[in-house]
Amino acid sequence: MFNPSIWRMKRFADSFPQIIDLQREINKLFSGAGQNTTLDYPVINIWEKDDSLIVTTELPGMDAENINVSVVGNMLTIAGMSKADPIKEGETYLRQERELGNFQRNFQLPFSVDAAKVEAKYEKGILHITLPRIKEDLPKKIKINS
């Protein structure tokens, strides 16, 4: 009458299209592994130190005048324009991996910062931004009455 092994095969066969879809999604995920996209330029590091956020990003070969840093509320924006290295007549690029052109990255900060006290320094291709936390946003100790 009822054969359990046939029933199990039927359930597996029914799920086969979902398995194929899963495999397709996994292949899509790993097909670009190791390749940078325009969404992650410039790469950054952010950490917290002494009630401030420290942000560093690599911007090789740029002039400080071509870099814009702005803070609105708790949103940090780093934007700018990188230009191609001039090549001389008769020279041809064999490989060109550095990003060129306009870029912009926006970062949601974990707390409000004092925009008037933000400091940015650009040295040796590294942009270093210090974003002090606004005093009103610092954690406050609450006295417990008994």
For 34-51, the pLDDT digits (tens) are 555 545 778 899 999 988
What average pLDDT does the segment 65-78 reach? 92
CATH class of 38-85+100-137: mainly beta
Q: What is the pLDDT of residues 77-131, one digit of tens each?
A: 999 988 877 788 988 888 877 777 889 999 999 888 988 999 999 999 999 999 9
- Which has more confidence, 27 or 90? 90
* Ranges of each domain in the chain: 38-85+100-137
The Cα 122–Cα 55 span in angstroms is: 12
Question: 9: pLDDT confidence band, cut at 50, 70 and 90?
Answer: low
